[in-house]
Amino acid sequence: MAPGQKTSMEYVRLGVARVAELGSRYDAGINTFDTANMYSNGESERILGKAIKEFNLPREEIVVLTKVYFSVKKDNKATATSPNWNDENGYVNQHGLSRKHIFDSVKASLERLQLDYIDVLQCHRFDYNTPIEETALHDVVKAGYVRYVGMSSCHAYQFAQMQNYAINNKLTPFISMQNHYNLLYREEEREMFPTLQLFGVGAIPWSPLAQGLLTRPRDAEKTARSQTDIYTKGYGNNEGTRKITSSVEQIAKKYGVSMAQVSLAWVMSRPGVTAPIVGTTSLDNLKDLLGAVHVKLTDEDEKELEEAYQPRGLFGHT
């Protein structure tokens, strides 16, 4: 979820409305909130922190997840366009998983969130330039800034390498993987999910609704997000994608539920998935998504949803 000001992405809602939505989510039984330091250049964390304070959410009852890796831009219009962009534009030591950046980023996130600690600090990406022997993730836990650490959007061999090093050296191991997974993108089933099961780590997939593509028929009116989101084009408009979307629509009609509920129910039923990460643009959408917990798909439903899948190239991480 990325609440923030209407800056680089047209679909991102204004902060005041987002605060109200976050309070309503807690009232609906949602106690886990995911964000990142770079979402809306820090504004997402500020809005989440404001909501926690404004609605007096019990700290012991909520779980706050944020991320470290990307730089937080000083200019909302700034966009990294090359591997060396950060260093060439005044963001030296403000990105990646170096010891300095991890500590600086965690302290900045805590300030924006107005919290004393982060429940789960996730590495937003794998850092090819910092040795995995770096112990800063363990040290921020020991210092009391962070309770647990998680990983996000990397290759299975990278996760296995980092997790094995942590375990063998008695460092804080990863407890979660926030990976890209939905009916239109199932490449994680090949190596990542078996790896997670090997280590007993839960998956909390992002984009379980394929950036909204699985919530409406293919010929429906396009949303602002579908026209601007960089990942939407990655799903393509091939025959497999069209068949899967059509199957979701037909099963939704059969049960009298929304396409979003069917798509989310499928993700939640997958082995190894603890809980998907979902975002909404309205309270009505939130209420609809909550209904997914009551949707029970049959073996025949799952077969229909899955059989048209076509392998695709990896995207969503590097």
Mean pLDDT of 211-238: 75
pLDDT score, position 233: 74
Q: Coil, strand or helix: which one is 174?
A: strand
Report whether pLDDT(309) > 50.
Answer: yes
For residues 24 and 31, is the Cβ–Cβ distance under 8 A?
no
- Amino acid of residue 238: N
Mean pLDDT of 35-53: 95
- The torsion angles phi and psi of 66, rounded to 5 degrees, stand at -140, -175
User: Which stretch of 73-87, 99-113, 168-182 has the lowest confidence by average pLDDT?
Assistant: 73-87
pLDDT score, position 228: 63
Q: Place 76 in a pLDDT band, splitting at 50, 70 and 90.
A: confident
d(CA 300, CA 266): 12
Q: Which of 26, 39, 157, 165 is catalytic?
A: 39
Q: Place 273 in a pLDDT band, splitting at 50, 70 and 90.
A: very high
Q: Among residues 159, 259, 147, which one has the least CA distance to residue 209?
A: 259
Q: Among residues 243, 35, 238, 13, which one has the least CA distance to residue 120?
A: 35
Report whether pLDDT(15) > 70.
Answer: no
- The torsion angles phi and psi of 264, rounded to 5 degrees, stand at -70, -35
Mean pLDDT of 294-316: 95
Burial code (b: 16+ CB inside 10 Å, e: under 16) for 77-98 equals: ebebeeeeebeebebeebbbbb
pLDDT score, position 78: 79
Q: Among residues 43, 53, 44, 35, which one has the least CA distance to residue 115?
A: 53
> What DSSP assignment string belongs to 55-100?
TT--TTT-EEEEEESS---SSTT----STTHHHHTT-TTSSSS-HH
For residues 255 and 266, is the Cβ–Cβ distance under 8 A?
no
Report whether pLDDT(134) > 90.
Answer: yes
d(CA 121, CA 69): 11
pLDDT score, position 227: 62
Mean pLDDT of 68-85: 86
- The torsion angles phi and psi of 39, rounded to 5 degrees, stand at -65, 120
Q: Among residues 19, 1, 163, which one has the least CA distance to residue 67?
A: 1
Q: Is the pTM of this model over 0.85?
A: yes
Q: Sheet harboring 202-203: ordered strands across?
A: 32-34, 63-68, 118-123, 146-152, 174-178, 202-203
Report whether pLDDT(122) > 80.
Answer: yes
d(CA 150, CA 250): 36
Report whether pLDDT(194) > 50.
Answer: yes
pLDDT score, position 2: 42
d(CA 284, CA 24): 11
pLDDT score, position 282: 82
**What is the average pLDDT value for the chain, to the nearest integer?**
90
pLDDT tens across 93-120, in order?
A: 999 999 999 999 999 999 999 999 999 9
What is the C-alpha end-to-end distance of the chain, expressed in Å?
Answer: 21
pLDDT score, position 150: 99
26 assigned to active site:
no
Report whether pLDDT(1) > 60.
Answer: no
Q: What are the residues facing 177 on neighbouring strands?
A: 151, 203
Report whether pLDDT(229) > 80.
Answer: no
pLDDT score, position 223: 63
d(CA 38, CA 57): 24
- Give the position of tokens 């990142």: 36
Please say whether the structural domain 14-178 has been given the CATH code 1.10.10.10: no
Q: Among residues 89, 87, 141, which one has the least CA distance to residue 119?
A: 141
Report the helix count and the strand count for the chain, using DSSP H and E: 12, 6
Number of other CB atoms surrounding residue 289 within 10 Å: 23
**Which residues belong to CATH 3.20.20.100 in the chain?**
14-178
Mean pLDDT of 163-187: 98
Q: Place 170 in a pLDDT band, splitting at 50, 70 and 90.
A: very high
For residues 28 and 62, is the Cβ–Cβ distance under 8 A?
no
pLDDT tens across 232-247, in order?
A: 777 877 888 999 999 9
Report whether pLDDT(124) > 60.
Answer: yes
